[in-house]
Structure formats: structure tokens, C-alpha cells
């Protein structure tokens, strides 16, 4: 029996590999086709995992609204909406964001210090206090965390970023698949990429297996399987 959820990262980037411009403005360069693709992938998941910086950039998240996708969820015995899980070690989130008015289940994933901010206010149906790493009290232990999410009946997770979250999960081999949309635009400069963090040495790079390629108008949709190592599924 698998000990953790199956994970699919769903990302979009410019033709030169950026997810935002050099001022780190909220990315709005993908097309309607990419939004449709994103909603389709989200609709398959039991939970959607994203970092606090991603939420701060937009103030909202993408709910499933397509009637056919909603019906398919019912037929699969899933909740009408996947659980939206915000990752924030600090818990520093603005309760005035539109996110907190959306008709979706909301969970906060944090460490003990971050949970203190939300003990006296509403906003999340569940606050998951997860273990930190031995090296850093504010860094989440992702292996233990995903085991905990599995026990809460989240069998499939969609991972939306940002780059630091993606890097943290890749570092311990906890991403199974990757959907990457390449958009016909170039930003250049010192702008963030889909995978942040300190980077991997060439000898420790993450290997991908191309499963399919789709072209819709001017965008390419690349579907990869991520080769597993340290954090392989049982």
C-alpha cells in the first residue's frame, strides 16, 4: 500500500524558463487554454498544495467550475472541490484575501510557531501542524507530512508551486509527474524559475521521462514522469 499521495506538479513558464518577470509580479502570461488545462488537472486531485508566496501573489485560488468536471468528481466519489492546502511555516496570511471567501475547503499546513496566528481566528477548516526538519525548525519535513496527508484520505495531490515548494519536494523525490506549459513569451533577466531553492548539482539532477506532448495554438503542454530515488513510493 502506498504510504503517501500520488503527486502531480502543474506549472507554466515562459519560453526562457521564467514563472514571473524580474520584479516578481504575479504571472498572468498563460492563455485561456492553459487555464482550462490547469482546471482539468486540479479536478482530478483530492487536494491542491501551494505555497504562501503563490497565494500572496494572487490572493485567490482556482476552484473547479466546469460542470462536466464537477460531475466527474461526483462519479469518482470525490468531494465537489479538492481541498486547497496552503503551505506557510510562518502562518502570515491576510484573512482579508478573496481566498478566504471562496466556497472551497481550506487547510493550512504549518509548523507549531505558524499555527499560533490562527488559533483565535477562522479561515481554515483544518490546521495541520507538521514536523520540521532536524536542520531547520521552520523547514517542513515533507516525507512525514505527505504520510499525514495520505492518512487524511488525500490520495492524489496537485502541486502548484511556487519554486521553493517544488524544489523542496523534488529534493526528497516526492513529485511523481510534471505538467509543464511553455508559453510563447520571453522575460529574461534575473527572474524566478519553476524550481527555486539552492539548486542541484549535475550529478544529483532530477531525471524526467517524457510521456506526451500536446500543442494547443501557440502553447506546448509537456507531460513528464519524474524518476524516483530517495523518496520513492512503497
Q: Indicate the domain borders of the chain.
A: 6-10+35-212
State CA 152 to chain mean position distance.
18
Asked whether the predicted pLDDT for residue 77 surpasses 50, the reply is: yes
| pLDDT given at position 121 | 84
Asked whether the predicted pLDDT for residue 217 surpasses 50, the reply is: yes
Instruction: Look up the CATH architecture of domain 6-10+35-212.
Output: 3-Layer(aba) Sandwich (3.40)
Task: Tell me the average pLDDT across 168-176.
Answer: 95
Task: Tell me the average pLDDT across 206-224.
Answer: 97
| pLDDT given at position 231 | 42
Q: Decide which of 116 and 84 is more confident.
A: 84
Asked whether the predicted pLDDT for residue 61 surpasses 60, the reply is: yes
Q: How many angstroms separate the CA atoms of 162 and 37, rounded? A: 18
Condensed to tens digits (0 to 9), the pLDDT of residues 104-115 reads 999 999 988 888
- Quick check: helix, strand or coil at residue 208? strand
Asked whether the predicted pLDDT for residue 30 surpasses 70, the reply is: yes
Strand order in the sheet with 47-51: 126-129, 106-110, 83-87, 47-51, 156-159, 6-14, 177-183, 219-226, 208-216
Please state, as a whole number, how many other Cβ atoms lie within 10 Å of the Cβ of residue 91.
20
Q: What is the mean pLDDT of the chain?
A: 92
* Maximum average pLDDT range among 99-103, 141-145, 195-199, 226-230: 99-103
Asked whether the predicted pLDDT for residue 229 surpasses 70, the reply is: no
| pLDDT given at position 232 | 43
| pLDDT given at position 198 | 86
Q: Are 159 and 9 in contact (CB under 8 A)?
A: yes
Asked whether the predicted pLDDT for residue 7 surpasses 90, the reply is: yes
Condensed to tens digits (0 to 9), the pLDDT of residues 90-136 reads 999 999 999 999 999 999 999 888 888 898 888 999 999 987 665 66
The cell numbers describing 123, all together, are 479561515
Instruction: Count Cβ neighbours within 10 Å for each residue of 112-151 and write b for 16 or more, e otherwise.
Output: eebbebbeeeebbeebbebebbeeeeeebbbbebbebbbe
Instruction: Kindly tell me the burial class for residue 77, based on how many C-beta atoms sit within 10 Å of its own C-beta (0-12, 13-18, 19 or more).
Output: exposed
Q: Decide which of 113 and 31 is more confident.
A: 31
Percent of the chain past pLDDT 70, that is, above it, reads 94
Instruction: Count Cβ neighbours within 10 Å for each residue of 173-200 and write b for 16 or more, e otherwise.
Output: bbbbbbbbbbbeeebeeebbbbbbeeee
| HSE (side-chain half, CA atoms, 13 Å) at 225 | 7
Count each helix (H run) and each strand (E run) in the chain, helices first: 6, 9
Task: Tell me the average pLDDT across 13-40.
Answer: 92
Amino acid at each position: 500500500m502506498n504510504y503517501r499521495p500520488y503527486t502531480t506538479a502543474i506549472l507554466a513558464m515562459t519560453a526562457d524558463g521564467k514563472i514571473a518577470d524580474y520584479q516578481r509580479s504575479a504571472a498572468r502570461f498563460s492563455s485561456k487554454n492553459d487555464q482550462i488545462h490547469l482546471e482539468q488537472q486540479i479536478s482530478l486531485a483530492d487536494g491542491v498544495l501551494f505555497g504562501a508566496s503563490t497565494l500572496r501573489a494572487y490572493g485567490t485560488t482556482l476552484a473547479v467550475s466546469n460542470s462536466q468536471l464537477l460531475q466527474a468528481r461526483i462519479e469518482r466519489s470525490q468531494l465537489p472541490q479538492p481541498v486547497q492546502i496552503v503551505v506557510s511555516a510562518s502562518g502570515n496570511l491576510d484573512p482579508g484575501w478573496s481566498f478566504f471567501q471562496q466556497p472551497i475547503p481550506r487547510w493550512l499546513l504549518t509548523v507549531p510557531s505558524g499555527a499560533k496566528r490562527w488559533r483565535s481566528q477562522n479561515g481554515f477548516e483544518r490546521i495541520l501542524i507538521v514536523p520540521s526538519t532536524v536542520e531547520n525548525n521552520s523547514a517542513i519535513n515533507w516525507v512525514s507530512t505527505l504520510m499525514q496527508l495520505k492518512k487524511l484520505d488525500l490520495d492524489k495531490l496537485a502541486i502548484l508551486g511556487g519554486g521553493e515548494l517544488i524544489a523542496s519536494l523534488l529534493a526528497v523525490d516526492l513529485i511523481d509527474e510534471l505538467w509543464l506549459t511553455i508559453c510563447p513569451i520571453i522575460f529574461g533577466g534575473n527572474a524566478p524559475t519553476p524550481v527555486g531553492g539552492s539548486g542541484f548539482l549535475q550529478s544529483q539532477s532530477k531525471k524526467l521521462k517524457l510521456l506526451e506532448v500536446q500543442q494547443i495554438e501557440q502553447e506546448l503542454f509537456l507531460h513528464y514522469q519524474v524518476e524516483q530515488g530517495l523518496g520513492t513510493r512503497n
